Copies of this chain bind each other. A is one copy, B any other.
């Protein structure tokens, strides 16, 4: 394998995530977008709408991972402070980007909506940042070095990701396969599973029990790795393991759920 290791981290920004108001789904969206590009998410941090906290998290993450994705805080209201925080993290100034400003102005003119000072804030970018198109609601995200700043609303995040893939260096794709074993209990197979996992060459095995309701329980065994031959071999070992323990396993492509 000559491809270099490419990694990502996510910084989720917003009091509403920490208060329990909002359940995060952007981590899953971003991770699933990056996986086929060979870019695993290695860490996620959720921080409040406070500049010092955002700056500290973004600076820690951008030094350590190839790419950082932030979500949230780029709207027009007083609690939207992410652009300022990113500028502060990079030690650069921030101001209206003339092209973004003109685009937004045209968009609001067309809608017959006043392009207020608050809406003009959404045209502010850290110096040197390049905009990330927002096909959903106009106001762009932006890329500053290796940091991609996205909206918080999940449908807008999905839209913005379309303007990101072409900017990323791709890494080694990790394939995965899931063996869903109804009725299986982890303790029934743990010793043998541990042996199989230890003997595996470059394949990582995860074991995820589920307990949905009485009688609807089991274990999903997920094998992950770059080598598809080794993954195929592991798949059959896990199927045999589940069968030997009395389960009728189902095969699911990828990570399953």
Contact = CB atoms under 8 A, between A and B. Distances in A.
Number of identical protomers: 2
Interface stretch (A90-98, A163-171, A205-213, A226-234): A205-213
Task: Give the interface SS of chain A, mostly helix, strand, loop or mixed.
Answer: mixed
B44 A18 contact: yes
A84 interface: no
Chain A's interface size range is 35 or more
Contacts of A256: 21
Nearest to A213: B155
Given A31-B20, A43-B47, A206-B49, A193 B153 contact: no
Nearest to A15: B206
Interface of A: 12, 15-25, 27-32, 35, 40-49, 53, 75-80, 113, 116-119, 121, 136-137, 153, 155-156, 176, 185-187, 190-191, 193-194, 197-198, 204-211, 222, 224, 255-257
A22 B32 CA distance: 11
Contacts of A193: 77-78
Nearest to A197: B78
B46 A44 contact: yes
Contacts of A207: 75, 77-80
Given A18-B31, A113-B187, A204-B15, A75 B209 contact: yes
Contacts of A32: 20
Given A75-B186, A78-B197, 8 more contacts: A12-B44, A18-B31, A19-B255, A20-B28, A20-B30, A22-B208, A79-B205, A153-B211
